[in-house]
Chain A
Amino acid sequence: MKIALFIPCLVNHFYPEIARDTLELLEKLGHGVSYTQGQTCCGQLMTNSGCLDQARASVEALGKALLKEPCDAVVAPAASCVVAARENLERLTSFEDFHSLAGKIFELTEFLHDIAPLDHPLKPLRKTVSLQMSCHGLRQLGLGTASELVVARPVNKLQALLSRIPELTITQPSRDECCGFGGTFSVDERDISGKMANDKVADHLATGAEAIVGYDPSCLMSLGGVVSRKGIPLEVMHFSALLNQVT
């Protein structure tokens, strides 16, 4: 498929390795991948605080940058940014092309699970990882079945993808509760947010895993911040790093 990468601002500047892993992985899987300069924020920083008008310019600039290169799908390695980009392109712009663009933006997990299913043989990796099922991916994108729901056959798309890696051991924390990041919540409500992040890291650590693996860089940044502060022996990584390594 012809894929345009959407690299959210946080990934672009703070976690470029996630963008490179995503790029290389998609190329190894046989996709044509392009990246256009000039991408801005999905608007989430502003819209999460209700500032819809303040987000419009950013969302329009992002839409323009993504439309520069024709593609079959836009793929981003960040779940909450995908949720915001889709929603904001729909509700904050009136340009038809932006609306159809919104419909073909996919988060990397859902792209590899639903749109172009991963069927490559993967190299074995001896490692124990604990899945960080962040809320926007879990409850808005349906990357997994949230624990609150009563469903006969629960799904977990991240687990489904990673379980294709031979010898990888996959665990999960006892709860799929929010890690406390929440955008500006992490600063505004520093006490509660910090406590939630600490609790989440403890829950991951208790699984006996060597690494926390997730699909949302902002949540991973928050958990990584606790791991660093407390000197906890846990790697924190985006799942694209794992998949790129074994593909």
Chain B
Amino acid sequence: MSQTHARKVETFAADEARVDWHSAALLALRDKRDLQAKSLPQWEQMRESASRMKLYVLSHLPELLEQFTSNCEANGMEVHWARDAKEHNEIVASILKERGKKKLVKSKSMLTEEVHLVPHLEKHGIECIETDLGERILQLREEPPSHIVVPAIHLKKEEIGELFHEKIGTQAGASDPTYLTHAARESMRQEFLSADAAMTGVNMAIADEGAFVVCTNEGNADMGAHLPDLHIAVMGMEKLVPDADSAALLMRMLARNATGQPSTSYNSIFGAPRPGCELHIVIVDNGRSLRMADRRHAEIYKCIRCGACINTCPVYRRGGGHSYDYFIPGPIGLAIAGDNPEANSEAWACTLNGSCNNVCPVKVPLRETIAYHREQLAQQKQLPYHKNAYMPLAGKIFGSPRGLSMAMTAVRVGLRIMPQILQRRIGGWSKSRDFPKPPAESFAHWYRKNRGE
């Protein structure tokens, strides 16, 4: 059993100035997203269309997978289906090893985090270089991402300056973002030129074309994929869309919702290997089929990984991305994996405020899915925070008008006689808030006295 989420946030939450800085950085993304969304009067219709399109995909996966695969093969690509993380990693390793590849440059992919690809390849003696700037920073720090779109959002530029000074030889004390970015680019350029294989993720896989879209802001995916003679693209099977129009709809929403840009800077559609080169696609299930079989869990696979739910989440912003057990933080992470009994407090790292639902471009019912995980954990008696013990008792007391009245009266009287100085030491609620000053009588009592029955 991992530590509770409440325990895990303690260190991060203790530095209030840093919490405010972190929260403001993410709110800036949310504000930019709002501006971009509001620049399209038809935004809400687009959300509805995108949601329905992704529901169509989830309910027609077998046909679409076969269609995509045969069209890709007709276009000269090789397609591999992987049942789980292990199979995925073995496929990738064998493609690389059979061709004697030693150095892989990869663009950002949450899937490779999910299946722990990099450690697997390193075991096989293959060097892996992250080429997304944020991911590269974290690779140098040997730290996991704290966000799915802006993975190093928890770091300040001064901390990155120190890291670069130590790892890539920038001037001591330098923290100017332009200077640091240029230095990273110089260092990265050497990696691109010496790599003999490239890996990208997939943002949308277009079934009727046998092609796929990769969106980046840094052009790193393109730089990687266009130099060596081998490109491996990896994707979760939910990345499918039926056609190019569907991909275009998502492309209009993805960057707007993620970072408040009208579009990512680089949008490449890969439809065939370059002459003399190989292009492989690995499609992964890794538990997706099982989750999709549960109607109340399935819609998480509409997600296009824009991260907007994370940016708007008031809990994430104040607790940081490393406070979660699952590698994807925030609402979408909780909606995917909040049913894990080993990290049973995760589903409670949420106030059910529903802001995430409203920003989601494909209308994933995040709030309802998180609530569903709580129901499942309750049924398995795997509740966190002592709820296994007190919830049945609460149910009994609250279920009886007399019991409820007696219990509430006891609390009321208790708070009336207990000195405030002691109330403030109770903890929990009273760590940062006073209890209310309770009245002498309840409304029910007053009504009986003054209005009769």
A residues at B contact (CB < 8 Å)? 7, 9, 11-17, 19-20, 23, 35, 37-41, 43, 45-46, 48-58, 60-61, 65, 135, 139-140, 146-152, 175, 177-178, 180-182, 184-198, 221-222, 224-226, 228-229
- Report yes or no: B444 in contact with A39, Cβ–Cβ below 8 A: yes
16 other A-B residue contacts (CB within 8 Å) besides A7-B444, A13-B443, A191-B319: A9-B408, A14-B438, A15-B439, A37-B401, A40-B401, A50-B347, A139-B358, A146-B354, A175-B27, A182-B353, A186-B429, A187-B429, A188-B345, A193-B351, A226-B432, A226-B433
- Report yes or no: B395 in contact with A46, Cβ–Cβ below 8 A: yes
In the complex the two chains form, what is the Cα distance from A65 to B319 in whole Å? 42
* Chain B residues within an 8 Å CB radius of A49: 348, 374, 378, 383, 387, 391
When A150-B37, A180-B351 are in contact, do A12 and B318 touch as well, CB less than 8 Å? no
* Chain B residues within an 8 Å CB radius of A135: 351-355
In the complex the two chains form, what is the Cα distance from A220 to B29 in whole Å? 29
In the complex the two chains form, what is the Cα distance from A57 to B394 in whole Å? 11
* Chain A residues within an 8 Å CB radius of B354: 135, 139-140, 146
- Report yes or no: B401 in contact with A190, Cβ–Cβ below 8 A: no
Q: Could you write out 13 A-B pairs with CB less than 8 Å apart? A: A20-B443, A50-B376, A50-B378, A54-B395, A55-B395, A139-B354, A150-B44, A178-B351, A191-B14, A193-B432, A195-B318, A225-B435, A229-B434
In the complex the two chains form, what is the Cα distance from A57 to B395 in whole Å? 7
Chain A residue nearest to B33 (CB atoms) is A148
Chain A residue nearest to B439 (CB atoms) is A16
B99 proximal to A (CB < 8 A): no
Chain B residue nearest to A185 (CB atoms) is B351
* Chain A residues within an 8 Å CB radius of B451: 35
- Report yes or no: B439 in contact with A14, Cβ–Cβ below 8 A: yes
Minimum CB–CB distance from B26 to chain A (whole Å) comes to 12
- Report yes or no: A40 in contact with B404, Cβ–Cβ below 8 A: yes
Minimum CB–CB distance from A49 to chain B (whole Å) comes to 5
Chain A residue nearest to B384 (CB atoms) is A188
B322 proximal to A (CB < 8 A): no
Interface centre among A51, A52, A149, A184 (most CB of B within 10 A): A51
* Chain B residues within an 8 Å CB radius of A148: 34, 312, 355, 358-359
Chain B residue nearest to A146 (CB atoms) is B358
B residues at A contact (CB < 8 Å)? 4-6, 9-10, 13-14, 16, 19, 27, 34, 37-38, 40-41, 43-44, 312, 314-315, 318-319, 345, 347-355, 357-359, 371, 373-379, 383-385, 387, 391-392, 394-396, 398-401, 404, 408-409, 411-412, 424, 427-436, 438-439, 441-444, 446-448, 451, 453
Interface centre among B6, B27, B373 (most CB of A within 10 A): B6
Minimum CB–CB distance from B393 to chain A (whole Å) comes to 9
* Chain A residues within an 8 Å CB radius of B385: 184, 187-188
Minimum CB–CB distance from A162 to chain B (whole Å) comes to 23
Query: Which listed residue (A187, A195, A197) contacts B19, Cβ 8 A?
Result: A195
In the complex the two chains form, what is the Cα distance from A18 to B43 in whole Å? 39
Interface centre among B38, B358, B447, B453 (most CB of A within 10 A): B447
Minimum CB–CB distance from A228 to chain B (whole Å) comes to 4
- Report yes or no: A188 in contact with B6, Cβ–Cβ below 8 A: yes
In the complex the two chains form, what is the Cα distance from A11 to B408 in whole Å? 11
Minimum CB–CB distance from A193 to chain B (whole Å) comes to 8
Query: Which listed residue (A40, A150, A184) contacts B399, Cβ 8 A?
Result: A40
Query: Which listed residue (A43, A139, A189) contacts B6, Cβ 8 A?
Result: A189
In the complex the two chains form, what is the Cα distance from A178 to B447 in whole Å? 33
* Chain B residues within an 8 Å CB radius of A188: 4, 6, 345, 348, 384-385
Chain B residue nearest to A41 (CB atoms) is B398
Minimum CB–CB distance from B307 to chain A (whole Å) comes to 14
* Chain A residues within an 8 Å CB radius of B374: 48-50
- Report yes or no: A198 in contact with B432, Cβ–Cβ below 8 A: yes
In the complex the two chains form, what is the Cα distance from A189 to B334 in whole Å? 15
Query: Which listed residue (B378, B399, B412, B435) contacts A61, Cβ 8 A?
Result: B399
Minimum CB–CB distance from B27 to chain A (whole Å) comes to 8
* Chain B residues within an 8 Å CB radius of A184: 348, 385, 387
Query: Which listed residue (B9, B37, B433, B442) contacts A192, Cβ 8 A?
Result: B9
- Report yes or no: B401 in contact with A39, Cβ–Cβ below 8 A: yes
Minimum CB–CB distance from B380 to chain A (whole Å) comes to 10
- Report yes or no: A14 in contact with B433, Cβ–Cβ below 8 A: no
- Report yes or no: A16 in contact with B446, Cβ–Cβ below 8 A: yes
In the complex the two chains form, what is the Cα distance from A7 to B355 in whole Å? 27
- Report yes or no: B444 in contact with A12, Cβ–Cβ below 8 A: yes
In the complex the two chains form, what is the Cα distance from A195 to B404 in whole Å? 30
Minimum CB–CB distance from A241 to chain B (whole Å) comes to 14
When A57-B399, A191-B10, A195-B318 are in contact, do A146 and B444 touch as well, CB less than 8 Å? no
